[in-house]
């Protein structure tokens, strides 16, 4: 080899080595592992939030594998929500989202900064949010965009289960191939590394102790922190508990079946629900079977892209959506009505919910499979507990377990040591919260975990689904009391004050589509309210015309004949009708705002039924009838001039128009 060739070869080797090192060792960055680096927030700030005042963001670089601290590293997205309290406590509340694969930052910035949120104002300590390794904002993210592309391509197609499963498996395979090509070590994304990240976060932010909140998978992760890094913990809150010693995947069918039993029993025990939906379970099963024979079409909109789809909804999909809805405490009161609507092919409310499920771009499916397959995929289909489970749930459960085994066989991650499946023994003060209607982590799971926790305080809420904190004022109050003093059980008297959900039924709701139209800004649906407001404005013109006529007579020196008693009463009836209309509009709008802030699902159905609201609604037609009678009398007794009587007749028509518009709104039905 000549000199020139040798030099070129040496240069080529140097280039190859440098390139290889830059790819293989992305961690050799200016920021060392275990150091928090402040930065601009990596997400869109919630409405009203100010960076620097309300939120501080940045990155925490941690080893990809904590057993190799000098090896490659990854970055975790961090957002610190600052307390408004003047005497802020030094130990923060660190929150862990579930899934696995959910984005803590995306979820809890929305919750903490929502108009009706109690948590941020209630707590006198900072709240630390971080996206677990592999989730939305952390780097690398294991979000599978291939799955979202599949949804967009097939949501309008009528596919068999086998076709849909094959396409989904192919999308998962394409996602895995892409992640591996990007140099991502999928086996590094598991609960043990995740727990070590929590400890690294506490140290990097300079906290001597933290209070750790976990929900769903976050409770499983919190237990790993309790076992592996107990020194950083002041207290722990487990909300919607997943025990380390239970493979929850095998329990999902029984957990879902239990939740439906609780729902049907609760409806049967509620007089209004029982009367409105006497055959609720049969209605659900019949609807699933009918939709599987002949699927419905549901118009939905992808809120991010604005694209509209005419989605196919078969029975299995309907059952899946109902399962997802049961997670939400706010939607539980509406489930009987949603089932009843579905029997009539009325999917207007579901059309608002389905996009939130199928177009969720915040969930990291790649991280989900990495964690689940390393920790809970050690089962076979014969291990499924399907005895006594409703057939539609058993069928879905069997399919779901099969799908997990297929995807875990595809994902090929290393199994964690069997110790991860052992119960956690600890004396760290722990608040254990469960919901009666939780479809996947039943209250008995909380009892299982508490058996080996010597300072566990265990509570179940009679009106919540999956996760009590943030959806129950009682749970929020108890969280605050526990954080103030973890060494004693919080006051739980508020639990007894709730008898359960206040179901949507004619006994609790004045059904009217106008609230749905206002909630969804449906211009066509707002037509009856527009008609009411138009008639009301004409009716209120009397408040200007009559005083103005009096003023003109005073200025001109004219003298109006003294009105008769009947004429005076007639005018006051018009004034009262106008005042009633104003009060109705104000109360309706205020109620809509209040329901929206409280995330009250009743907004999709109508107005809260109360004596005052009913009296207000029925006062308008009574006053309109009285004004019409006075109109007839005014012409018979010539109370005013011809122009005056004609104008009063116009006002009578306006009052009738208000009453007719109320009927158009459906409030009398």
Q: How many Å apart are CA 287 and CA 266, to the nearest integer?
A: 21
The confidence score (pLDDT) of residue 631 equals: 95
Number of Cβ atoms within 10 Å of the Cβ of 275: 11
pLDDT of residue 476: 96
User: Which pLDDT value is given to residue 551?
Assistant: 83
3-state SS, one letter per residue, for 194-222: HHHHHHHHHHHCCCCCEEEEEECHHHHHH
Question: What secondary structure does DSSP assign to 80-139, as a single string?
Answer: EE----TT-EEEEEEEE--TTT--HHHHHHHHHTSTT--HHHH-SEEEEEEPPTBSSSSB
Q: How far apart are CA 119 and CA 127, in angstroms?
A: 10
Count of beta carbons in the 10 Å neighbourhood of residue 266 = 23
First vs last C-alpha separation in the chain: 96
Reading the block at residue 221, the tokens are 């992760």
Mean pLDDT of 134-160: 97
The residue-averaged pLDDT of 350-367 equals 96
Residue 446: is the preceding peptide bond cis (ω within 30°)?
no
Q: Is the pLDDT of residue 293 over 70?
A: yes
**Is the predicted pLDDT of residue 12 greater than 60, yes or no?**
no
Q: How confident is the model at residue 7 (pLDDT cuts 50, 70, 90)?
A: very low
pLDDT of residue 2: 40
**Band (560; pLDDT cuts 50, 70, 90):** low
* Alpha-carbon torsion (415, 218, 99, 27), positive or negative: negative
User: What is the structure's pLDDT at 249?
Assistant: 95
Nearest to 345 by CA among 366, 372, 315, 376: 315
Q: Check: CB of residue 461 under 8 Å from CB of residue 495.
A: yes
Bridge partner residues of 80 (DSSP): 56, 128
Residue-by-residue DSSP string for 51-85 = BTTTEEEEEEEEESSTT-TTS-EEEEEEEEE----
Query: What is the Cα–Cα distance from 383 to 145, expressed in whole angstroms?
Result: 32
Taking residues 246-267, report their average pLDDT.
Answer: 97
Output the pLDDT for position 523: 86
The answer regarding whether domain 36-142+184-246+417-496 maps to CATH 3.40.50.1820 reads yes
Is the model's pLDDT at 455 over the cut of 80?
yes
- This prediction's pTM: 0.90
Q: Per this entry, what is the length of the chain?
A: 669
What integer pLDDT is reported at residue 78 of this predicted model?
Answer: 98
pLDDT for position 355: 96
Burial class (CB in 10 A: 0-12, 13-18, 19+), 174: middle
- At residue 561 the predicted structure's pLDDT band, cuts being 50, 70 and 90, is low
- Burial level of 228, CB count in 10 A (0-12/13-18/19+)? middle
* Chain position carrying tokens 């900072």: 126
pLDDT category, 559, cuts 50, 70, 90? low
Where are the domains positioned within the chain?
Answer: 36-142+184-246+417-496, 248-362+382-392, 509-665
What is the pLDDT confidence band of residue 26, given thresholds at 50, 70 and 90?
very low
DSSP 287-315: HHHHHHHS-EEEEEE-TTT--EEEEEE-H
Quick: pLDDT tens for 151-198: 999 999 999 999 999 999 999 999 999 999 999 999 999 999 999 999
Q: Judge whether residue 256 has pLDDT over 90.
A: yes
What mean pLDDT comes out for the span 413-438? Answer: 97
Of 329, 532, 583, 595, nearest to 437 (Cα)? 329
- The vertex-220 CA angle with 448 and 67, nearest 5°, equals 130
Share of the chain above pLDDT 70, in %: 95
Asked if pLDDT for residue 28 goes beyond 50, the answer is no
Q: Could you report the per-residue pLDDT of 185-242, keeping only the tens digit for each?
A: 999 999 999 999 999 999 999 999 999 999 999 999 999 999 999 999 999 999 999 9
Q: Residue 72, by phi and psi: left (phi above 0), alpha (psi -120 to 50) or beta?
A: beta
Residue 13 in this model has a pLDDT that exceeds 50? no
Provide the pLDDT for residue 117.
83
What is the mean pLDDT of the segment spanning 23-30? Answer: 39
pLDDT by residue (tens digit) across 304-333? 999 999 999 999 999 999 999 999 999 999
pLDDT in tens, 32-85: 789 999 999 999 999 989 999 999 999 999 999 999 999 999 999 999 999 999
Q: What is the mean pLDDT of the chain?
A: 92
The per-residue pLDDT for 118 is: 86
Tokens 């690294």 found at: 200
In degrees to the nearest 10, what's the CA dihedral of 388, 251, 503, 594?
A: -170
Which is more confident, 19 or 494?
494
């Amino acid at each position: 080899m000549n000199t020139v060739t040798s030099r070129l070869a040496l240069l080529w080797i140097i280039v190859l080595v440098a390139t290889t090192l830059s790819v293989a060792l992305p961690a050799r960055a200016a920021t060392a592992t275990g150091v928090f680096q402040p930065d601009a927030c990596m997400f869109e700030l919630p409405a009203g939030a100010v960076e620097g005042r309300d939120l501080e963001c940045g990155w925490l670089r941690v080893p990809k594998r904590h057993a190799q601290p000098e090896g490659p590293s990854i970055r975790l997205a961090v957002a610190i929500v600052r307390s408004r309290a003047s005497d802020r406590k030094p130990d923060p509340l660190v929150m862990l989202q579930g899934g696995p694969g959910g984005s803590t930052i995306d979820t809890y910035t929305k919750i903490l900064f929502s108009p009706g949120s109690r948590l941020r104002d209630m707590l006198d300590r900072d709240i630390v949010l971080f996206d677990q390794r592999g989730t939305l904002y952390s780097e690398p993210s294991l979000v599978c965009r291939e799955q979202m592309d599949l949804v967009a391509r097939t949501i309008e197609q009528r596919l068999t289960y086998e076709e849909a499963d094959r396409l989904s498996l192919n999308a998962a395979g394409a996602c895995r191939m892409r992640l591996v090509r990007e140099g991502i070590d999928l086996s590094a994304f598991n609960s043990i590394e995740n727990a070590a990240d929590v400890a690294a976060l506490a140290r990097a932010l300079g906290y001597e102790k933290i209070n750790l909140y976990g929900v769903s998978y976050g409770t499983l992760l919190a237990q790993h922190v309790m076992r592996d890094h107990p020194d950083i913990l002041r207290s722990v809150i487990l909300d919607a508990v997943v025990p380390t010693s239970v493979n929850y995947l095998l329990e999902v069918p029984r957990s879902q079946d239990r939740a439906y039993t609780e729902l049907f029993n609760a409806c049967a025990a509620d007089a209004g629900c029982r009367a409105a939906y006497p055959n609720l379970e049969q209605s659900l099963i019949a609807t699933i079977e009918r939709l599987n024979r002949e699927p419905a079409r549901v118009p939905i909109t992808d809120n991010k892209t604005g694209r509209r789809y005419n989605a196919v909804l078969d029975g299995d999909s309907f059952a899946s959506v109902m399962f997802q809805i049961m997670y939400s405490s706010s939607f539980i009161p509406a489930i009987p009505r949603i089932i009843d609507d579905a029997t009539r092919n009325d999917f207007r409310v579901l059309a608002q919910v389905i996009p939130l499920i199928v177009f969720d771009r915040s969930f990291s499916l790649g991280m989900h499979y990495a964690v689940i397959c390393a920790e809970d995929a050690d089962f076979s289909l014969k291990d499924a507990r399907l005895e006594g489970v409703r057939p539609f749930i058993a069928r879905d459960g069997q399919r779901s377990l099969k799908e997990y085994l297929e995807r875990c066989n595809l994902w090929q991650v290393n199994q964690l040591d069997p110790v991860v499946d052992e119960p956690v023994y600890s004396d760290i003060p722990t608040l254990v919260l469960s919901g009666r209607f939780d479809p996947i982590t039943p209250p008995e799971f909380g009892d299982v975990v508490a058996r080996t926790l010597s300072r566990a305080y265990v509570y179940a809420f009679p009106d919540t689904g999956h996760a009590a904190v943030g959806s129950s004022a009682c749970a929020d109050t108890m969280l605050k009391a526990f954080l103030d003093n973890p060494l004693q059980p919080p006051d739980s008297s508020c639990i007894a004050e709730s008898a359960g959900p206040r179901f949507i039924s004619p006994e609790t709701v004045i059904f009217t589509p106008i609230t749905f139209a206002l909630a969804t800004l449906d211009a066509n649906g707002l037509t009856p309210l527009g008609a009411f407001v138009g008639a009301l404005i004409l009716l209120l013109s009397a408040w200007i015309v009559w005083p103005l006529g009096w003023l003109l007579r005073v200025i001109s020196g004219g003298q109006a004949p003294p009105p008769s008693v009947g004429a005076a009463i007639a005018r006051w009836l018009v004034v009262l009708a106008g005042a009633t209309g104003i009060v109705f509009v104000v109360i309706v709008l205020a109620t809509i705002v209040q329901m929206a802030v409280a995330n009250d699902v009743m907004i999709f159905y109508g107005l809260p039924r109360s004596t005052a609201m009913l009296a207000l609604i029925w006062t308008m037609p009574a006053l309109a009838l009285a004004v019409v009678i006075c109109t007839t009398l005014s012409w018979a007794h010539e109370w005013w001039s011809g122009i005056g009587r004609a104008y009063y007749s116009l006002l009578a028509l306006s009052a009738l128009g208000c009453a007719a518009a109320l009927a158009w709104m459906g409030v009398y039905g």
